[in-house]
A and B are shown apart, each in its own frame.
Chain A
Amino acid sequence: MSTPSAEGIAHWARALRAREISAVELTERALAAALAQQGLNALISRVDESARAAAAGADAVLAAGAESALCGIPLVHKDIFCTNAIRTTCGSRMLGEFVPPYDAAVVERLAGAHAVTIGKANMDEFAMGSSNENSHFGPARNPWDLTRVPGGSSGGSAAAVAAGIVPFATGTDTGGSIRQPAAFCGITGLKPTYGRVSRWGMIAFASSLDCGGVLARSAEDCAHVLGAIAGHDARDATSMQRPVEDYLRGLTAPVAGLRIGVAREYFGAGVEDGVGAAVHEALAALKAKGATLVDISLSHADLAIPAYYVIAPAEASSNLARYDGVRYGYRCADPQSLDDLYTRSRAEGFGAEVKRRILIGTYALSAGYYDAYYLRAQRVRRLIANDFAEAFKQVDLIAGPTAPTVAFKLGEKASDPLAMYAADVNTVAVNLAGLPAISIPAGFSNGLPVGLQLIAPAFAEARLLSAAHQFQQHTDWHLRMPGTGA
């Protein structure tokens, strides 16, 4: 039904333990696939040698009886996670040569589970974008159609998993940057609750919204990875002290009796017919398994985009101030003065979208505008969170299309920032409220994957994963591979 590379973590974990394949062989296979699929431009850096060494180490751990299902499984990290002694660019010329002296918490935890990093995934510069076209290293491409975008900002991660190069990848989600590329590439993408995964070592875009997560072939695989990367970290003051559940054991919870809220605002005018149809069909499948569909309204949904595009740039304008050419990162040639050093280093080091957001954010925070923009956006943020809290009094999950459209053409929206921002219409509210959400493959429209988004209350990742897993037990959308028949 599918090529071996379409197999997920559960399959490979079993095969590794059965000695059907070694971690070194599996890693070689991933490295070869990465090389063969260079046209996707999914990776910014490959780390073949350290991957081989890590795989050999994983084989030794496997021989000794490894506990983690991730032992020996290849992955790519979004190039926003700092990796010790491995270049970490954040998709930017600014960090084009930056080699961190430390590992991000997520990187540490996955290395601790003996998963094998084979490279760093392409992304929109500083995670600002919905198409991966804002990468200094050129756009990643959608494996389903190379003329189309993989989504963003975790576009390289999504493309690498969808193409079968690796069974899973890390990503970050500030306004939809895991879920939207997962939807565009036909894979499963999980954005956990804010505070569930440490942000230590994850290069900041908008600190109150940034969330590390996973892109994988199935909800079950997401459960494996979340179990490894979740948990309190004293180095991140926003990380929550709350025990990590056994997400795998929770997967067997039945869909029957689950109340799923269908938010009418998520099926607005911008939603393509094919996308709406696929999502309705997926919801019907859940209903057939015993779930109850409840019509709900999230009345401030239309304010999510404007609030988000004030708060995220405001935080970004401050977070990106450290890139000044003084201590690390890009420095302009032959600076004539301090102002010249700042001005040219930043003018030359940042791309257009990053500069646009720094300007928007600086404006929103400036004296005389702060109340009208930043404070007002924060009030809207509370209203949006309240909408969700009210809704979750009636329902267990909220559903809708992850993105209003399927993957669009490269260049189609590149010159229209507002059209690009609208691609996040169904995802950003979740970040504003800090909730967990998952995008799962739910069918196709014009031969391109459609994603179903499920949203849960804070820290109800187990509920989210079990519903998604049960759906995937009864559908095969997530098993489809590009080029093998949509």
Chain B
Amino acid sequence: MTHPHSSPLTPHEGWQPVIGLEIHAQLNAASKLFSGASTAYGAEPNTHASLVDVALPGTLPVPNRAALDKAIRFGLAVDAQIARHSVFARKNYFYPDLPKGYQISQYELPIVAHGHLSVRLDDGRTIDVHIERAHLEEDAGKSLHDAFAAATAIDLNRAGTPLLEIVSAPVLHSAAEAVAYMRSVHTLVRWLGICDGNMQEGSFRCDANVSVRRAGSDKLGTRTEIKNVNSFRFVEKAIEYEIERQIRALESGQAIVQETRLYDAAHHHTRPMRGKEDAHDYRYFPDPDLPPLTVTEADIEVARATMPELPQARRARYIAQLGLPDSDATQLCADRATSDYFEATFATLAPAAAAASTSESEPEKVTSGVPRSPADLALAHAKAKLAANWVLGELAAALNASASTIDASHVAPSDLAKLIARVNEGVISGKIAKDVFAAMWAGEGDADTIIAARGLRQISDTGALGATIDALLAEFPAQLADYRNGNEKLLQFFVGQAMKRLKGQANPQQLNALLREKLAQ
């Protein structure tokens, strides 16, 4: 946990912002937290609303263990305490899209408490953010105010959808820190496979508690809460605006009013939604329909055993064992699908090195006694770098151009690995490989098929290359003379002409060497 004073001074001279986030991550369970209805997004209104979701008289909630397991996985990932007994409580308030007149949440005894998450900032610093708690709760339905002219419509498809509310301590000191933390949580929940992270559909959204205090003070200022912001950019803008607003107010002698504010994306400002005097008394009490939720050691062990390698551990391994630069490792680990794709590519490209790397990442396993030679290591590092370049370069560009995600990649990791291998083996040049990749993406087959079909196998035969060069030198005597008089820039001219004649299939290193040799004669 960062100490308030250890943070560098923010651009807000003389003031320190204090921010805590409440992140709502929708758990991607197939059914709702307390009913068997589907959680699928985008269905016709009220078609995914069961008797329980509509809160018909006599209906009862039954907890969904799948949602509980996902909460446990989150808790393990942030090194938190998992409550052996946690309690569902009712949060009572009236709203038309809240069918029971209360929301089932957790209050005094949440499933997850006292975790922390290490967050890397853009400026290179790392902060350790204390996560006070993460609790299970059900979502409300939706009020549709513009579906009908003179009435509000209610859609209960979302009612009862499982949410994990992740509450940070007020330890963030700038909008940038808050957003970096939010991104880390976003990466983590998707990495764990517990939330799809879709912010447009509201699967990942956040409330921000913001206050400011005089630098050096350890007393918290009056805070405001900004509700329901669902993009990283808006969170940053909203917090930034709110910090400025509070500082301006305090500097002009006004007091901050404790209130809930809404972020208006169109005008990039926040405005009051309701004040403290309108604050609900939620009358929390343990839900008598639900016995305490019991988590056994065995439940936790099952969850632990199926935990994936976490992004930070994987990033560290890429740097330490695969020799990847920090920036590559960070980019690859920005989401699990990309990282998994890289893993699979590398495993095909360098099976032994990949196996050694993953087993070394598990300290309890003793690696095979034979130390790898420095040469092997260098080769493995080179292959890792090549794989990283391809995943972050050509593949990322192709995905970007087709606006698709890596799960929908047209090229499988093993096929990409084969392509990279052909470059390594000198069968094709790196430049030709890009064309081959494009053809693979277009569905023309695997690398070998395309190389064969298009006749792209590069020419490494000295005789063939020599004949082409000889013909070339005969055709351009003036340029040849010029070169021999010291204009060495003309080398590129001859390389270009030779490549043109050889349809780009010449082995570039060989071509260069041979040309130099013949030009020098």
Contact = CB atoms under 8 A, between A and B. Distances in A.
A315 B288 contact: yes
A234 interface: yes
B286 to A, nearest CB: 9
Interface in A399-439: none
A374 interface: yes
Contacts of A321: 92, 94, 100-102
Given A326-B154, A342-B94, A199 B101 contact: no
Contacts of A201: 58-59
A42 interface: no
Given A95-B57, A203-B58, A235-B60, A322 B288 contact: no
A365 interface: yes
A274 interface: no
Interface string A321-361: 11010111000000000100010000000000000000000
B289 A98 contact: no
Contacts of A104: 58
Given A362-B283, A374-B285, A100 B57 contact: yes
Majority secondary structure, A binding face: loop
A235 B289 CA distance: 11
Given A82-B57, A100-B56, A237 B63 contact: yes
B283 A200 contact: no
Interface centre among B55, B57, B60, B283 (most CB of A within 10 A): B57
Given A98-B57, A101-B56, A367-B281, A206 B288 contact: yes
B62 interface: yes
B350 interface: no
Interface in B259-297: 281, 283-285, 287-291
B90 interface: yes
B54 interface: yes
B107 to A, nearest CB: 11
B57 A102 contact: no
Contact of A88 (B57, B59, B92, B94): B57
A238 interface: yes
A204 interface: yes
A200 B58 contact: yes
B115 interface: no
Contacts of B94: 321, 324, 342
A101 B50 CA distance: 11
A307 B72 CA distance: 36
Nearest to A206: B288
Given A206-B288, A370-B285, A318 B56 contact: no
Contacts of B92: 317-318, 321, 365
B96 interface: yes
Interface string B57-94: 11111110000000000000000000000000010101
Contacts of A281: none
Given A101-B51, A321-B94, A199 B60 contact: yes
A327 B99 contact: yes
A238 B287 CA distance: 11
**Majority SS of interface residues in chain B?**
loop
Interface residues of A, number: 43
A342 B94 CA distance: 9
A445 interface: no
Contacts of A327: 54-55, 99, 154
Contacts of A101: 51, 56
Contacts of A5: none
Most buried by B among A100, A102, A207, A237: A237
Contacts of A235: 60, 62
A314 B291 CA distance: 17
Given A318-B102, A327-B99, A365 B285 contact: yes
Interface string B227-265: 000000000000000000000000000000000000000
A315 B99 CA distance: 17
Interface in A66-110: 81-82, 88, 90, 95, 98, 100-102, 104
Given A314-B285, A315-B288, A90 B61 contact: no
A269 B404 CA distance: 80
Contacts of B102: 318, 321
Nearest to B279: A367
A318 to B, nearest CB: 5
B143 to A, nearest CB: 10
A206 B94 CA distance: 19
Contacts of B63: 237
B96 A326 contact: yes
A237 B104 CA distance: 14
Contact of B288 (A208, A320, A362): A208
Contacts of A90: 57
Nearest to A126: B57
- A-B pairs, 7 with minimum CB distance: A321-B101, A208-B288, A207-B288, A365-B283, A201-B58, A203-B57, A82-B58
Interface of B: 51, 54-63, 90, 92, 94, 96, 99-102, 154, 281, 283-285, 287-291
24 contacts: A81-B58, A95-B57, A100-B58, A101-B51, A101-B56, A201-B58, A204-B57, A204-B58, A207-B287, A237-B62, A238-B289, A320-B101, A321-B100, A321-B101, A322-B55, A324-B96, A324-B101, A327-B99, A327-B154, A342-B94, A362-B283, A367-B281, A370-B283, A370-B285
Given A200-B60, A203-B58, 13 more contacts: A81-B58, A82-B58, A100-B56, A201-B58, A202-B58, A234-B62, A236-B62, A317-B283, A328-B54, A365-B285, A367-B283, A370-B283, A374-B285
